[in-house]
């Protein structure tokens, strides 16, 4: 029973363009959402978070949007850079501790 879903296993984007990664969730109790970036043979690295009291959070090139009514969040990366190529996971929690992760989207930024 996957409570957090990332339906696009992969995404390719040209350098300099916008990357949009999507995530859907089913549990309406989730109130805290994170995006992680993962390189091969490394653990996930925290990227950006958003709580359910907001609908947008921005940090440099990274912006996360939350649509609670649609139970959907997205991560925008602009401009995309080759170093952004990695697997991106979204995660959600109702407690701030037990997080449910999606299956990840592999982003490739083409120079």
Partner 1 sequence: GAGVSQTPSNKVTEKGKYVELRCDPISGHTALYWYRQSLGQGPEFLIYFQGTGAADDSGLPNDRFFAVRPEGSVSTLKIQRTERGDSAVYLCASSLQGSYNEQFFGPGTRLTVL
Contact 30, 52 (CB under 8 A): yes
Q: How far is the CB of 10 from partner 1 (least distance, A)?
A: 12
Q: How far is the CB of 91 from partner 1 (least distance, A)?
A: 7
Q: How many CB atoms lie within 10 A of CB 6?
A: 19
Residue of 3, 12, 1 whose CA lies nearest to 99: 3
**Judged by CB under 8 A, does residue 1 bind partner 1?**
no
Reduce the DSSP state of residue 38 to 3 states and report it: strand
Binding mask 72-91 for partner 1 (x = CB under 8 A): -----------------x-x
- The number of residues in the chain equals 111
**Judged by CB under 8 A, does residue 4 bind partner 1?**
yes
1, 53, 98, 111: residue in contact with partner 1 (rule CB under 8 A) = 98
Choose the stretch contacting partner 1; rule: CB under 8 A; options: 10-18, 53-61, 71-79, 92-100: 92-100
Binding to partner 1, residues 22-61 (CB under 8 A): 32, 34, 36, 41-46, 49, 51
HSE at residue 65, side-chain half, CA atoms within 13 A, is 11
Token pair 């990274």 is found at 62
């Amino acid at each position: 029973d996957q409570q957090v879903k990332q339906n696009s296993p992969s995404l390719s984007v040209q350098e300099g363009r916008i990357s949009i990664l999507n995530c859907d969730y089913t549990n309406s109790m989730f109130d805290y959402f994170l995006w992680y970036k993962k390189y091969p043979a490394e653990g996930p690295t925290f990227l950006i978070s958003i709580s359910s009291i907001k609908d947008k959070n921005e940090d440099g090139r990274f912006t996360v949007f939350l649509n609670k009514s649609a139970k959907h969040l997205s991560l925008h990366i602009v401009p995309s850079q080759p170093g952004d190529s990695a697997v991106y996971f979204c995660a959600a929690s109702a407690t701030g501790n037990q997080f449910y992760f999606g299956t990840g989207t592999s982003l490739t930024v083409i120079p």
